[in-house]
């Protein structure tokens, strides 16, 4: 039932001052997206309500007790939000970043940056309601949409797996039965970016229809190569993308009770990799804060950055309606195949930089490979929406197989050689859950809501992990002869290795063979195979020693016999681990209609993020596990509809308190214990994940939507958020000793959670009017974020192991992003089925960090998109 009411004047004034976050009117599933049902006149006359599926059934947004924001494809396009990463400008409290292809979603400061094969997202992404475990390539699904929903707060009961912070649900356009429809559009933007998109809907009978959609984009993320080196200056910067995707949707409803749908999609991303910039050296050299530097001017070197991601999937749904309830079975399969060679750099450019000390002939780099095959199944029964008791009962099953590889090569060392490889050909994850949820009408005005979900999970993996190391002795046993690896043309074997069982590989010959097997194609100027090849084939147990200018360290010469005086080789160790977890989520609450148009609610909800386990070390052959994180939210609010200026208007207000427990932070552990000493002495350390943290979060969100005279509309939303870490003494990776791996400890108590601004504001103002035989419309989307921290360290001073102290800026680790405002603009003219649009995203070209990766000599920033503008032509038919 649609609710309306007339609020007192005080509430009306409050709604006018409560700023941003807009939600656009959403078409019903029977309407076709290509006909742009969310037309300016429909929106401004207030004829359409917002439809969401936050409670796993279609509801008017005003009937949902919680904070949900929904956006139609039409409105996203007009607002200049043409890719997933830009969605955050319309959703206060939402942060989306991309690190090496991993899409990281944070909502109200809650999320996850654990992108390993054992990590999981902290905010659950969905496609048409089906869970996506590996959100690599999620942006390839951002076309031909019905709507996008962002559900804030833990959703453990109804959405289950990893819905700790909330959910993001991408809902694609559905086939319709009435007629052939479709659209085609093309666009061109600055930085020589261009794109095309289209769809056609074809009825194949009175109850069967198909929809085919496609998408192509070639774009530049705005980074530039500032390298002065003749060779390195030819490298293309990170952030160049050429992507394409296609989707086929089938819908069949042979009776008014039975419905069947199938959606299949394919996509491919190619380019130079996702952009990141290490600002550590620039900050140390200049003493400037990041906002005083141009983070997009990167000094590249070494190999060309290269990325390819191929993904495809299929979803199926069967529903049957009985007299008082319905049953729905869904299943999905998704495959991801990702490979990236990072674009390597020597920090960023700054005024007065001395490049004479930079070694541009340095091919140190990181290589990533990820494959995932996941299956998700759900069987759900639900009562009819007209029943006094509206219930959901269901079961959920998830299974994923992964194969992942990572290799860090360290080129141009002056002695020795040390790299790192973690390659896992067999990573398994499995989960099942049972849930029940219900809403009961106690009276015609009071409702009770409640639900519970039980989940079991298990994970396991097999593979290798650890260092590649060569110490090759020179004349008279001097240490050591240099090694090169990773030069032009180098590619690691990773998952193409012939063997992953290193148990028993103890002889120099076996170790040399294993190292060489890790190379798929040798670099043009690599030396490793030449140096240890004779060890691997058994012709010379001490290898082949030679020198040349690029490996001459000036203090080691080869023995007269042409062999090394000694050759010590280290290979990665065996990694085998498993863990099991179970937990319960619940929700309970009350909804009360003060009037038919004014609802008050209060509820408590929980969510969990899956646990995992750490690497195997000498001191822990059985890897240490960490438990699932848990979040409990207490929430109260009101949803109100009223009349303003003779039109329907909305004002919603929500307050919340989060209790965040078993929070995972990185802690320090000993990995090499010398038991020959008394007491035993630790000779090596590593960072591991442990449940050593807790936080509390509270805040308030207010949303107002008006249709104003003069064909204006105003959508506003303001969010206030206060976060505080209440427990957590962790290893400070900023002060890590590179030789031992040991880090000082730091107490995070009192610090704010990363990526959580105290104030978030979003305002959208739009208008339309008739010009000639057509209609002109424009809109402006303004978003403000107050300052936030990019790491849990909050720019605290670093107290090094020797007791010395340095502030974060002096040490190269500023992590506070100052507050900033972005502005998106759009204007379009529609004449019949034809439309011409101009848009500008991030019009003032604000440069902001959406994520930081902090470690020893690392302060890598991942940025928002630079200013983008262009023209778009569209035809609907």
pLDDT over 70 (residue 370): yes
pLDDT band, very low/low/confident/very high, at 3 (cuts 50, 70, 90): very low
Superfamily of segment(s) 181-357+373-465+573-876? TonB-dependent receptor, beta-barrel domain (2.40.170.20)
Lowest-confidence pick of 364-368, 638-642, 733-737: 733-737
Tokens read off for 44? 């401004």
User: pLDDT tens digits for 657-669?
Assistant: 999 999 999 888 8
Pairing of strands 240-252, 820-831: unpaired
Whole-prediction pTM = 0.90
How much is the average pLDDT of 642-664?
A: 95
pLDDT over 80 (residue 611): yes
Q: How far is 202 from 741, CA to CA, in rounded Å?
A: 61
Residues of the chain with pLDDT > 90: what percent? Answer: 79
Question: What is the average pLDDT score of the chain?
Answer: 90
The helix/strand/coil state of 14 is helix
Q: How far is 464 from 466, CA to CA, in rounded Å?
A: 7
Specify the pLDDT at position 8.
34
Specify the pLDDT at position 2.
34
Specify the pLDDT at position 167.
94
Specify the pLDDT at position 856.
84
DSSP per-residue letters across 461-519: EEEEEEEEEEEEB-GGG-B------S-TT-EE-GGG-S----TT--SHHHHHHHHHHTE
Lowest-confidence pick of 507-511, 646-650, 654-658: 646-650
Q: Are 598 and 5 in contact (CB under 8 A)?
A: yes
Percent of the chain that is helix, strand, coil (3-state, to 5): 10, 55, 35
User: pLDDT tens digits for 732-770?
Assistant: 999 988 778 889 999 999 999 999 999 999 999 999 999
How much is the average pLDDT of 15-31?
A: 37
How much is the average pLDDT of 484-497?
A: 96
How much is the average pLDDT of 648-663?
A: 96
How much is the average pLDDT of 263-282?
A: 93
In sequence order, which ranges of 300-437 are alpha helices (DSSP H)?
A: none
Q: Are 370 and 424 in contact (CB under 8 A)?
A: no
Q: How far is CA 639 from CA 508, 649, 790, in A?
A: 71, 11, 33
Lowest-confidence pick of 170-184, 328-342, 614-628: 614-628
Specify the pLDDT at position 36.
40
Q: How far is 261 from 175, CA to CA, in rounded Å?
A: 9
pLDDT over 50 (residue 626): yes
Specify the pLDDT at position 682.
86
Specify the pLDDT at position 609.
95
Tokens read off for 566? 């000694």
Specify the pLDDT at position 154.
93
Q: 10 or 685: which carries more pLDDT confidence?
A: 685
Q: 136 or 712: which carries more pLDDT confidence?
A: 712
pLDDT band, very low/low/confident/very high, at 135 (cuts 50, 70, 90): confident
User: pLDDT tens digits for 429-470?
Assistant: 999 999 999 999 999 999 999 999 999 999 999 999 999 999
Instruction: Quote the distance between the C-alpha of residue 323 and its chain's center.
Output: 42
pLDDT band, very low/low/confident/very high, at 187 (cuts 50, 70, 90): very high
pLDDT band, very low/low/confident/very high, at 5 (cuts 50, 70, 90): very low
User: pLDDT tens digits for 823-846?
Assistant: 999 999 999 999 999 999 999 999
User: pLDDT tens digits for 189-212?
Assistant: 999 999 999 999 999 999 999 999
pLDDT band, very low/low/confident/very high, at 275 (cuts 50, 70, 90): confident
Q: How far is 217 from 588, CA to CA, in rounded Å?
A: 45
CA neighbor of 26 nearest in space, from 193, 238, 171, 187: 171
Q: Are 341 and 365 in contact (CB under 8 A)?
A: yes
Specify the pLDDT at position 33.
40
Specify the pLDDT at position 23.
41
Domain ranges of the chain: 181-357+373-465+573-876, 474-565
How much is the average pLDDT of 15-39?
A: 38
Out of 95-99, 371-375, 729-733, the most confident range is: 371-375
Q: Are 850 and 835 in contact (CB under 8 A)?
A: no
User: pLDDT tens digits for 572-607?
Assistant: 999 999 999 999 999 999 999 999 999 999 999 999
CA dihedral 679, 685, 687, 692 (to 10 degrees): 10
Tokens read off for 501? 């069982």
Q: What angle do CA 241, 131, 240 make, to 5 degrees?
A: 5
How much is the average pLDDT of 628-637?
A: 96
């Amino acid at each position: 039932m649609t609710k309306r009411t007339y609020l007192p004047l005080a509430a009306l004034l409050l709604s006018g001052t409560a700023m941003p976050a807009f939600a656009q009117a959403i078409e019903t599933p029977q309407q076709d997206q290509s006909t742009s049902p969310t037309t300016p006149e429909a929106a401004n006359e207030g004829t359409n309500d917002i439809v969401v599926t936050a409670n796993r059934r279609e509801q008017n947004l005003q009937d949902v007790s919680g904070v949900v924001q929904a956006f139609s494809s039409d409105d996203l396009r007009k607002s200049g939000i043409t890719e997933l990463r830009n969605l955050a400008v319309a959703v206060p409290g939402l942060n989306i970043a991309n690190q090496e292809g991993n899409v990281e979603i944070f909502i109200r400061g809650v999320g996850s940056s654990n992108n390993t094969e054992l990590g999981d997202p902290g905010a659950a992404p969905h496609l048409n309601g089906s869970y996506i475990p590996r959100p690599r390539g999620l942006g390839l699904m951002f076309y031909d949409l019905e709507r996008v929903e962002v559900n804030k707060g833990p959703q453990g009961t109804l959405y289950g797996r990893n819905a700790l912070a909330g959910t993001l649900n991408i809902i694609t356009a559905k086939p319709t039965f009435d007629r052939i429809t479709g659209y085609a559009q093309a666009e061109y933007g600055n930085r020589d970016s261009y794109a095309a998109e289209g769809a056609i809907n074809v009825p194949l009978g009175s109850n069967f229809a198909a929809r085919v959609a496609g998408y192509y984009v070639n774009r530049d993320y705005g980074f530039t190569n500032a390298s002065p080196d003749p060779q390195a200056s030819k490298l293309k910067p990170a952030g160049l993308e050429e992507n394409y995707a296609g989707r086929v949707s089938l819908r069949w409803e042979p009776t008014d009770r039975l419905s069947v749908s199938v959606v299949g999609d394919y996509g491919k991303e190619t380019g130079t990799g996702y952009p990141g910039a290490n600002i550590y050296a620039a900050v140390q050299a200049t003493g400037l804060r990041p906002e005083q530097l141009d983070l997009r001017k990167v000094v590249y070197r070494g190999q060309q950055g290269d990325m390819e991601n191929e993904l495809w999937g299929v979803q199926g749904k069967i529903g049957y309606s009985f007299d008082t309830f319905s049953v729905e079975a869904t299943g999905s399969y998704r495959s991801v195949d990702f490979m990236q060679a990072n674009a390597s750099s020597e920090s960023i450019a700054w005024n007065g930089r001395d490049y004479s000390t930079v070694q541009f002939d340095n091919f140190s780099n990181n290589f990533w490979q990820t494959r995932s095959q996941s299956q998700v199944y759900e069987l759900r029964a639900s009562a009819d929406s007209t029943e006094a008791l509206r219930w959901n009962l269901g079961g959920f099953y998830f299974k994923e197989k992964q194969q992942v590889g990572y290799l860090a090569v360290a080129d141009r060392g002056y002695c020795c050689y040390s790299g790192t490889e973690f390659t896992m050909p067999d990573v398994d994850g499995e989960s099942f859950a049972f849930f029940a949820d219900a809403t009961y009408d106690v009276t015609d005005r009071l409702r009770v809501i409640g639900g519970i979900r039980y989940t079991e999970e298990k994970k396991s993996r097999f593979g290798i992990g650890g260092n590649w190391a060569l110490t090759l002795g020179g004349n008279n046993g001097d240490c050591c002869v240099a090694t090169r690896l990773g030069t032009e043309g180098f590619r690691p074997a990773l998952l193409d290795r012939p063997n992953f069982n290193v148990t028993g590989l103890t002889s120099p010959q076996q170790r040399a063979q294993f190292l060489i097997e890790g190379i798929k194609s040798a670099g043009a100027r690599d030396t490793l195979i030449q140096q240890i090849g004779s060890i691997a084939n058994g012709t010379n147990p001490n290898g082949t020693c030679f020198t040349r200018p690029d490996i001459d360290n000036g203090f080691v010469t080869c023995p007269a016999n042409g062999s090394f005086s000694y050759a010590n080789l280290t290979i990665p160790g065996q990694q085998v681990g498993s863990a099991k977890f179970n937990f319960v989520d619940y929700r309970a609450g009350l909804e009360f209609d003060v009037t038919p148009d004014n609802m008050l609610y209060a509820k408590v909800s929980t969510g969990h993020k899956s646990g995992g386990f750490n690497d195997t070390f000498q001191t822990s052959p059985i890897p240490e596990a960490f438990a699932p994180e848990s979040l409990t939210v207490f929430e109260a609010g009101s949803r109100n509809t009223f009349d303003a200026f003779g039109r329907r208007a909305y004002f919603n207000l929500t307050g919340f308190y989060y209790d965040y427990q078993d929070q995972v932070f990185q802690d320090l552990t000993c990995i090499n214990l010398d038991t020959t000493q008394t007491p035993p002495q630790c000779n090596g350390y590593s960072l591991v994940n442990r449940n050593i943290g807790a936080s509390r979060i509270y805040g308030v969100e207010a949303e107002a939507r008006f249709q104003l005279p003069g064909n204006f509309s105003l959508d506003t939303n303001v969010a206030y958020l206060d976060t505080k870490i209440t427990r957590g003494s962790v290893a400070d990776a900023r002060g890590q000793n590179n030789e031992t791996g040991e880090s000082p400890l730091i107490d995070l108590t009192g610090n704010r959670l990363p990526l959580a601004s105290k104030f978030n504001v979003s305002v959208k103002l739009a208008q339309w009017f008739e010009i000639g035989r057509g209609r002109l419309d424009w809109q402006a989307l303004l978003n403000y974020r107050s300052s936030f921290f990019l790491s849990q360290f909050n720019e605290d001073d670093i107290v090094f192991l020797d007791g010395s102290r340095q502030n974060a800026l002096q040490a190269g680790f500023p992590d506070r992003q100052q507050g900033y405002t972005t502005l998106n603009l759009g204007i379009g003219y529609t004449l019949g089925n034809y439309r011409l649009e101009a848009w500008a995203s991030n019009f003032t070209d604000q440069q902001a960090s959406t994520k930081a990766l902090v470690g020893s000599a690392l302060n890598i920033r991942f940025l928002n998109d630079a200013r983008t503008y262009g023209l778009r032509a569209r035809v609907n038919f």
